[in-house]
Structures are given as C-alpha cells and as structure tokens.
Amino acid sequence: MAGLSGLVLLSERHAVANGLALVVLLGGFAIAMTGYAGIFVQRFSGLRQLRDKSVNFDD
C-alpha cells in the first residue's frame, strides 16, 4: 500500500519520489512472490513423497 499511495500522491511532485515508490512497490511484490514460490515447492515435494510411498499393485 505504501508504494501504491506513493505512486498516486507523489508522482507529480518529484521524479525521485516516483522512482522510490516504484521500488517499494516492486520490492513488496518480489517478497510476496518468494513466499508463494516456497509454498509451491513445498506442495510439490509433498506430492513426490506420496508417490514414493504409494503401493505398487502390479506385483
């Protein structure tokens, strides 16, 4: 929210404020995406463990 409000309120006043607000916005996005990537990897590693423990009915 800080980056978005900075873009909306300060972009007309100074170019450095516009750039700083954009950095804050993109930094928050990057932090959030790393969290989602961790959840994604954790779920797929759990699926691999289930596949390895599955019973083979072909015997």
| Tokens encoding 20 | 């700083």
pLDDT digits (tens, 9 = 90+) for 13-47: 777 777 787 888 889 999 999 989 888 888 888 77
Domain that holds residue 28: 2-52
> Residue 7 above 70 pLDDT?
no
State the number of CA atoms in the 13 A half-sphere of 53 facing the CB: 6
In a domain, 58, yes or no: no
Q: Tell me, what's the pLDDT at 50?
A: 67
Q: What pTM does this model have?
A: 0.53
State the number of CA atoms in the 13 A half-sphere of 24 facing the CB: 13
Distances (CA, A) of 10 to 5, 36, 41: 8, 30, 38
Compute how many other C-beta atoms are within 10 angstroms of the C-beta atom of residue 21: 20
In a domain, 29, yes or no: yes
